[in-house]
């Protein structure tokens, strides 16, 4: 009997599997996991020694803004996916608020074409909901390479802003896949704009975009989702007040939090970082951060995503409120969360659920999210004991800065492997960009391996 051969073997690591941590080797063939167990290293065309390291499923960041097309001075698909790979992320979902917005099948195809041969990670793109495409969303969400529909209830520009109940309900009734929602109440934002219009201290940002702005929008979209019979995913939840609402509606709603809201607090972050701490929804005081951690502990939080939203230093340095909201985060997502693991705030298994299995469950990603035979050979190899400083030199995002520069973390990505291709090792990108569009259970036609 001919011995099994593998394209790649990861030898001697601790695998984080659905059954828990396990000391075992991984064999990869044709871009998929072919075997787990004790494997003969001579059976591998390539062997990587991962003794003393943990092998996680490939990390999936389901909320990034890579700014292409139209805003490439801030970021583009090549630089954004490079940052992702350096941070241990193997798949990204990119948002539709580019220029032009992603509203049609042609817009989506343009992004997929731009990513081909330039993306270091696998990827998919959100279709934006707007009044002009709401009747077509059911067909648009079925396009290959589309991860679903994104609704902006507040804090967007042009037709991507959908703040009236009639259009929201139409969007929710047109389609079947889970819809991602930015939940801030636009009417309340406009009413409260006078608090900061004409100039204010950036510490007023969470006063303008207050708790009630978030709570009102989340309650509204939950009511509409139930009327429409549609599943929703509420992005970047920031308030203690939203958590009971979401916990009471788990049959229709899942929720995301970001590393920024789990790590930073007001007013300290605004005093230290100024407008570089400005994002939507805002960083809030410690009671909200503590509530988010409690929600993680209680199993209410489903996903951690970065909301990577870069702007240049010059743009961020403008006086508030003319300064843009958003900060980079795809490269620092995993180091920050590994540091929280080492601090005892969550277990490594819970982290894997939040950044690997959770995204897979919510969006129906085919072949990703776990270390198991038959799944894509996507791995994030980490050293839980490595102590490293987050430095500007390490960052790959075009904007060149991070609110976490100068912070030392414990836990670091050592290798990023996408479908058996080593794309990052020891802080260096490897080979050429080979990222492909992610596949989804609800859009597959024919053989899932096509």
Which residues, in sequence order, are bridge partners of residue 150?
A: 128, 180
d(CA 304, CA 359): 9
Q: Cβ(234)–Cβ(183) under 8 Å? A: yes
Residue identified by tokens 């400005």 is: 278
Tokens representing residue 273 in the block: 């970082």
Contact 326, 401 (CB under 8 A): no
Q: What angle do CA 64, 180, 142 make, to 5 degrees?
A: 95
Q: Which residues are catalytic?
A: 307
Q: Cα–Cα distance between 217 and 315 in angstroms, integer?
A: 28
73 to 66, 198, 346, 388, 416: CA distances (angstroms): 10, 27, 37, 29, 26
Cα–Cα distance for residue pair 35/387, rounded to 1 Å: 32
Eight-state DSSP code of residue 275: G
Strands of 14-17's sheet in order across? 20-23, 14-17, 54-57, 379-389, 408-418, 421-425, 428-429
- For 53-92, letters b (16+ CB in 10 Å) and e give bbbbbbbbbbbbbbbbeebbebbbbbbbbbbbbbbbbbbb
């Amino acid at each position: 009997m001919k011995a099994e051969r593998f394209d790649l073997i990861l030898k001697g690591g601790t695998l984080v599997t659905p059954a828990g941590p396990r000391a075992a080797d991984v064999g990869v063939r044709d871009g998929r996991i072919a075997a787990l167990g004790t494997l003969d290293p001579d059976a591998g065309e390539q062997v990587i020694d991962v003794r003393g390291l943990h092998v996680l499923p490939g990390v999936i960041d389901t909320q990034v803004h890579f700014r292409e097309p139209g805003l490439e001075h801030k970021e583009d698909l090549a630089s954004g996916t490079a940052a992702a790979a350096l941070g241990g992320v193997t798949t990204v979902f990119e948002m539709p608020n580019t220029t032009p917005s992603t509203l049609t099948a042609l817009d989506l195809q343009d992004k997929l074409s731009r990513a081909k041969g330039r993306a270091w990670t696998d990827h998919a793109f959100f279709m934006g909901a707007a009044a002009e495409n709401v009747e077509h969303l059911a067909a648009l969400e079925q396009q290959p390479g589309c991860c679903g529909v994104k609704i902006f209830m507040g804090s967007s520009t042009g037709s991507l802003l959908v703040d009236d109940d009639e259009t929201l309900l139409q969007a929710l009734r047109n389609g079947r896949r889970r819809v991602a929602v930015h939940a801030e109440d636009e009417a309340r934002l406009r009413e409260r704009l006078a608090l900061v219009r004409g100039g204010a201290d950036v510490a007023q940002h969470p006063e303008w975009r207050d708790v009630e702005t978030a709570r009102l929008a989340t309650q509204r979209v939950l009511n509409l989702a139930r009327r429409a019979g549609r599943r929703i995913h509420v992005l970047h939840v920031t308030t203690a007040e939203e958590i009971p609402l979401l916990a009471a509606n788990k049959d229709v709603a899942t929720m995301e939090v970001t590393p920024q809201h789990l790590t930073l607090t007001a007013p300290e972050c605004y005093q230290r970082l100024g407008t570089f701490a400005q994002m939507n929804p805002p960083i809030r005081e410690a009671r909200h951060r503590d509530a988010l951690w409690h929600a993680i502990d209680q199993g209410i939080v489903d996903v951690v995503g970065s909301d990577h939203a870069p702007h240049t230093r010059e743009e961020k340095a403008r006086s508030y409120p003319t300064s843009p909201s958003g900060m980079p985060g795809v490269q620092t997502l995993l180091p920050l969360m590994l540091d929280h693991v080492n601090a005892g705030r969550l277990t490594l298994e819970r982290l894997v659920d939040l950044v690997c299995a959770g995204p897979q469950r919510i969006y129906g990603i085919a072949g990703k999210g776990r270390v198991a035979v038959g799944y894509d050979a996507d791995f994030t190899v980490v050293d839980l004991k490595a102590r490293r400083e987050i430095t500007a030199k390490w960052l790959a995002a075009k904007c060149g800065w991070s609110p976490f520069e100068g912070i030392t973390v414990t836990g670091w990505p050592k290798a990023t492997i996408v479908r058996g291709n080593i794309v990052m090792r020891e802080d260096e990108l490897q080979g050429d960009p080979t990222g492909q569009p992610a596949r989804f259970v609800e859009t597959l036609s024919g053989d899932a391996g096509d």
